[in-house]
Structure 1
């Protein structure tokens, strides 16, 4: 049988919007914590100053509070957070002027009103700064983080793509040399020179489409070359190899030429020639 109910040691602190209660009970079991008529009712079994017993207490708050306390238990204590209905500073915790014997300040969390106001101001500024940062971050990260996510892999693949020129030279594949040179060096110029050196271009959504058009084309081209080297022809793959490029090449060229090269070259023009001067009337 458990012994008679006892009062645990309770430490409290406050902020303008919250009350913090720390109940010195370890191994808490079956906690029953409610707020009715602005009175906090606590009852739980745990190990306190009087050993393993049932402990309980009541606190009638000085001013109105929200009726839903938030509790968090650890092995050594139980923490209760209560929201004030109005944001202000209380001169004491309880409605009765005389402080209950089981109640004491929580000096680990205690702040004066001026310090609490400064803390509140810092939190508000931090919240505003966080909102400003989040407002600048695009919602769809897949478009804007493409370069930083797979740039190393694209560098590696496009460096290996130089072998296409060698394969054409030695006749390993039947691709004409000039188109291979134009394609490989064109892509490498976009990747290494423009995207690799201009940081403002790396977060543009057009990078996603450039890499996408490049990759989807090679999904059919390289398997076709591989099978051709061993004398195997698979008609569906052959059809895809010579058909998929029809919509993808113009789209890729549009993305590279209009959105990347044009932007880069126009920026270089402005740097060297300066902005266009307006004629004075």
Structure 2
């Protein structure tokens, strides 16, 4: 019988955007699927070596721009860079309560009153699907 698991999610934010990393022990890259709406993110995938099925709907604290995000899929997970609908600091990522699979990404985290550093705050590059040289996966 196929297991269904929640992926671990690391996150950080700025006033204008979010950074999420869905961390998996291994991933069949072609099975990764993200459905982004203005209030939620639905993630599904299958683990490469474990064959575990990952499925998780994240109901967000506030609205995001569901048309303005970037995604990078690797053998170890999926990274998302998502613009918030409104420029403001969120007290948490999810709509309600603490979830055990969501943790702060301390490598990317800044405090609310920290100054923004252009080009440094999120050194996240998404490979251009039209350029085979840009895919480092």
TM-score past 0.5 threshold: yes
Stretches of structure 1 that go unaligned for 5 or more consecutive residues are 125-281
Q: What is the alpha-carbon root mean square deviation over aligned residues? A: 2.1
Per-residue deviation, 1:47: 4.5
- Is the contact between residue 34 and residue 67 of structure 1 (CA under 8 Å) also seen in structure 2? no
- RCO higher in 1 or 2 (8 Å CA, sep ≥ 6)? 2
Instruction: State the match for 1:123 in structure 2.
Output: 118
Question: 1:131-156 CA deviation, whole Å, 9 max, x = no partner?
Answer: xxxxxxxxxxxxxxxxxxxxxxxxxx
User: Is the 8 Å Cα contact of residues 29 and 46 (structure 1) preserved in structure 2?
Assistant: no
- How far apart are 1:77 and its partner, in Å? 2.5
Give the whole-Å Cα distance in 2 for the aligned partners of 1:33 and 1:73: 10
Distance in 2 of aligned mates of 1:123 and 1:64 = 23
After superposition, residues 153-164 of structure 1 pair within 5 angstroms as none
Max Rg structure:
1
- TM-score, structure 1 normalization: 0.38
Within 5 Å, give how 1:29-44 maps onto structure 2: 29-36=30-37, 38-44=39-45
User: In the TM superposition, what is the alpha-carbon distance from 1:53 to its structure 2 partner?
Assistant: 1.3
Alpha-carbon distance in structure 2 between the residues aligned to 1:61 and 1:81:
14
Q: 1:81 to 1:87 in 2, by over 3 A?
A: same
Indicate the residue corresponding to 2:9 in structure 1.
Answer: 10
CA shift for structure 1 position 46 = 2.2
Separation of aligned partners in 2, 1:78 and 1:62: 20
Q: Which residue of 2 aligns with 1:73?
A: 73
The alignment covers a number of residue pairs equal to 116
Residue 22 of structure 1 is matched in structure 2 by 21
Change (3 A) 1:74 1:107: same
TM-score (norm 2): 0.75
